[in-house]
Amino acid sequence: MNTSAMKPEQVRLMIRKGEITGPTPGMCSGYAQGNLVVLPKDLAYDFLLFTQRNPKSCPLLEVSDIGSRCFSRTAPGSDIALDLPLYRVYRDGVLEGEYREVADFWRDDLVSFLIGCSFSFEADLLEAGVPVRHIEEGKNVPMYRTNLPCVPAGAFHGNMVVSMRPLPCSLIPKAVQITGEMPKVHGAPVHIGDPSVIGIRDLAKPDFGDPVTIQPGEVPVFWPCGVTPQNAVMASKPPFAITHAPGHMFITDIKNINLKY
């Protein structure tokens, strides 16, 4: 089954029917995938403001209407409660469980936030000959908690989480330019080089995802990561929240290239 060549609508429908249950990287080549955060309306203003104040780690692609289960602008006909392969449900900031669908959890006061994902710029990096190590090694991207504080907003606060890709020095400028052109999927790196400066002790022990090989002559390059908003949500211990499970993203009808314009 070549899900890479399929249209987003087809793949969302197969996920909805339970015919696809795994992680989404590589599916619907050229189309943007997004991180999901669902919160009760009474926390939605603070969270929306948090994303506005931290656009590099929390680039918003869409916010649903209150109670709606559809991202009607980025994916008409979608069902937010069914169209991701795996969800996480949190109560008071504690993970209650992972679920294949969350229709039974839905409430009329929920607001859904779709946040850009670095998968969108990795295709451009590869196309331009910039290596993406975790893809080469068949792993999840390594992610780290940093000492870089987000700008707080109401109930939400926390430090930035970053993803790391090791690059040969000569390719770093190209990688900065390519990703800098895509601010809606985290944009340019936030840090290049010495991890200890941003509070990372050991690159071999990421806080999320998998460690990857750093070859001689390569420098670690760090991008703001879409785990940041989930981290902030959990830190604020909302009574109820739904997110995607890592790697199990929402696939939109928006072409990556159109996130630039």
Residue 73 binding a copy of itself, by CB under 8 A: yes
**Total residues at interface with a copy of itself (CB under 8 A):** 14
Q: Is 84 helix (H, G, I), strand (E, B) or coil?
A: coil
Residue 183 binding a copy of itself, by CB under 8 A: yes
Residue 108 binding a copy of itself, by CB under 8 A: no
Residue 188 binding a copy of itself, by CB under 8 A: yes
> Residues 29-58: x/- map of binding to a copy of itself (CB under 8 A)?
---------------xx--xx--xx-----
Position among 28, 32, 63, 102 found at the interface with a copy of itself (CB under 8 A): 63
Based on CB atoms, which residue is closest to a copy of itself, 24 or 74? 74
Cβ atoms 56, 118 nearer than 8 A:
no
Give the separation between CA 59 and CA 31, rounded to whole angstroms: 16
**Minimum distance of a copy of itself from residue 45's CB (angstroms):** 4
Give the separation between CA 92 and CA 236, rounded to whole angstroms: 8
Q: Which long-range contacts (CB under 8 A, 24 or more apart) does 10-15 make?
A: 11/251, 12/75, 12/78, 12/79, 12/83, 12/251, 15/82, 15/83, 15/84, 15/85
Contacts with a copy of itself by CB under 8 A lie at 44-45, 48-49, 52-53, 60, 63, 73, 151, 180, 183, 188, 261
